[in-house]
Amino acid sequence: MSYRIEVTGLRKSFGTLTVLRDISLKVEPGQVVALIGPSGSGKSTLLRCLNLLVMPEGGQVRIGGDCFTFGGGSKMPGTKEQARFRSNTGMVFQHFNLFPHMTVVQNVMEGPVSVKGMPKREADAIARKLLAKVGLSDKVDVFPNKLSGGQKQRVAIARALAMEPEVMLFDEATSALDPELVGEVLGVMRDLAAEGMTMIIVTHEISFAREVADRVVFMRDGVIVEEGPAREVIDTPQQEATRTFLSHFHNRG
């Protein structure tokens, strides 16, 4: 059990469209994996299968000590089991998805209070600490609509961290941001990586992936085309498809 995340033979299709074909992926504790690839290649679907927001049709997903097998007559996990499984993975979405009817600190407290049944005072203290960590101590009591995109995404990261997940999943966390706000979010992610958080990051920030990720996985049409140490894959891609994809990014290195 030396891997924190272990995906084996994962399959998923929507109707007649096959989105994931036999995906296998292993991530060691503390490793950062950047998942890159053209739009529509199945990156989001793969992340969402990892926390069961999308139910895979076949294969196996193990995160920490929790393992689910799909398809082949194996029983689908019930809603309670699914919920418990999800609570162990933090997910950060492209469009933040903060709860607009709660203040910033309430957003961050929601998981611990409502899922773990933590007393409010304790959750409040944890939330404030996490908000300080992402640089938002002065925004604890405002509502999300008063925040910039970069601030919203940092709250979303704090909200996910409040559940103390074993892994963090980022789905294009900076794609919806104005260019000048990307840096502050990447900064928080870089700190998390340095602290040893296990992360899978779907991103189009190639230079960030090269610098922060241990490994890069390149996906196209539902298969992993190439994977390896971040610098190797990005600087000297072996596959033609990877080279073509990376040639669209000029800001390499």
Binding site for ligand ADP (CB under 6 A): 14, 17, 19, 37, 39-45
Binding-site partner at residue 41 among Mg ion, another protein, ligand ADP, none, CB < 5 to 8 Å by type: ligand ADP
d(C-alpha 27, C-alpha 22), whole Å: 17
Residues that bind Mg ion (CB under 5 A): 44
Q: Structure tokens of 88?
A: 């162990």
By beta-carbon proximity to another protein, the closer residue of 115 and 223 is: 115
Which does residue 45 touch among Mg ion, ligand ADP, another protein, none (CB within 5 to 8 A, set by kind)? ligand ADP
Contact (CB, 8 A) for 9 and 58: yes
Q: Which of residues 42-71 bind another protein (CB under 8 A)?
A: 51, 53
Q: Decide whether 37 or 112 has the Cβ nearer to Mg ion.
A: 37
Q: Which residue's CB is nearer to Mg ion, number 44 or number 242? A: 44
User: What residue spans of the chain are helical by DSSP H?
Assistant: 43-50, 79-86, 104-116, 120-133, 149-161, 179-194, 206-212, 230-235, 240-246
Give the tokens for residue 204: 């189009």
> Binding to another protein by residue 97, rule CB under 8 A?
yes
Q: CB nearer to ligand ADP: give 37 or 64.
A: 37
171 C-beta neighbours (distance < 10 Å), count = 20
Residues in the chain: 253
On the CB side of 187, how many CA atoms lie within 13 Å of its CA?
Answer: 11
Asked if 103 is part of the footprint of another protein (rule: CB under 8 A), the reply reads no
Q: Of the candidates 55, 115, 118, 176, which one interacts with another protein according to CB under 8 A?
A: 115
Listing DSSP states for 50-99 in one string gives HTTSS--SEEEEEETTEEEEESTTPPPPPHHHHHHHHTTEEEE-TT----
Q: Does 110 bind another protein (CB under 8 A)?
A: yes
Residues in contact with another protein by the rule CB under 8 A: 51, 53, 79-80, 83-84, 86-91, 93, 95, 97-101, 110-111, 114-115, 156, 159-160, 163
